[in-house]
Structure 1
Amino acid sequence: MFKKIRFDPDTLTFFMSLPFHLIFVQLEGKFYLTVLQHIYTPSVTIQTKIARSQYCPHIRELFNQTLIAYPIIRRIKYYHLACMKDSNLVCFHDNELFICLCTEEKHANCFHFDFNMTYDCMGSNNCQNGAQCFQDNPTCPTKIMCVCRECFYGTQCQFSTHQFGLSLDAILGYQIRSNLSISRQSIYVKISIIVASIMLLFGLISGILSILTFQSKPCLKVGCGIYLLASSITSILTIICLNFKLWFLILSQMSILTSRSFL
């Protein structure tokens, strides 16, 4: 079971049909214990959020280097000390074999956890550029999702922003929501449209006035007059191309332009 998280929402809803007792969230290599239920209750609504109080620190943040250097068989005997020292600690891990929960009695309840899982969909996936692959079922998957590395995007992480610099696709592309009207788009999209429209209006007025000024015969007799006339025409074409690029990106991301030959 998985679900994509967009940029603007701050909530996410899952429907879980399988029984469970624990839910861990891993963000940028850090673990959070978001749900803990000792007795599974079906058909119940659970609301939770990722907070600092749910953070599961690495043992490096809890023990000194001497204890960490112990072999795992010897070191695990001291894991109870972490729960005893910090009454607010809910969990921790060693990034090797165990994740531990702190019980109400301040004991460490540890269980095995695979920290070296390979997310490649059993070696059968179309994800590109070093992306991780997730599937909804390990034996008979019906959905596959690629999680891209930084600076890559697309359903298969096939696109890169390395060579584009500050392009509209990289800056605004993920802010545009498909199947939503302009009025329901994010504030960033609306501001981009307003700014581009103002630039187009003033650019056209300025460019047209400049062309009317520098197209006179006295101005065309000198090289700077020809340069200023050509610059005025170029500025109009540039601002028109900018607006065309913006609306092309918006309409294609909104799934209004769907022709593959045109795109």
Structure 2
Amino acid sequence: MPIMPDMPDGATTAPLPPPHWTQDAALALVFLTRLPLPALGPLDGPLADGAPARAMGWFPLVGALIGLAGGAVFALAALAHLPPLAGALLALAATVRLTGGLHEDGAADVADGFGGGRDRLRKLEIMRDSRVGSYGVLALVFSVGIRAAALAALPVPAAVAALAAAGALSRCGLAALARVLSPARRDGLAAAQGKLAMATVLLALVSGIAVAAIALGGPALPALAAALLAVAAVAALARRQIGGHTGDVFGAAQQVAEAAVLLTLSALIGAAA
């Protein structure tokens, strides 16, 4: 048995830093939500190296938690005998409150930039502007309206499961988007994170699929296909419009993917209910 060296009087062993995955998961939760979280230690040194990029692998699990929060509100609204559409709007309002409208803001900026910009530089300039134009307002109206209408068509248990699955699936393709596309700007968080490792992409895809399989069962496969096709469509549009991705593009991709998942599930489950 190895003998431990004697420690000087009064000396204490330095605490081991938390493993990378706890920092990465916590960073994903901090980035995607407004939840007040206790610090898990300083994010510096080796932990900081690539942490924002690695955190994207945990986005689907955080998205599932956001969706479950919205599902809880939908269930409470049903218990209060509110109309399904009112419950759906309240559920979406809860998720927006939890995320601070992060993805909705990105979708509105992309709609304004892609719809109103004459060239690539002008589109990026508009996307960075904090003001919301007519294209952005319309994007938000359609995003909320389509998701609420699809959600209202589902029975309560299926709606709760759909929100959890949509929260995960709409974020599982974002890591792949970040790996396939280059940043459209030389500055900003998207540019600083660099190219994502394939392990991060796989973690995001596997965790998103696992959540959907547990929540949905058989309909998980078409829901996954809808989410990935939606993200791919936004990625193709972003490549053509601005030559790459930005944080706003991630938000737009999430919104389109979530709407696609809920529409798919409303067609498959709502019609059979």
TM-score normalized by the length of structure 1: 0.22
Using CA pairs under 8 Å that are at least 6 residues apart, name the structure with larger relative contact order, 1 or 2. 2
Between structure 1 and structure 2, the one with the greater Rg is: 1
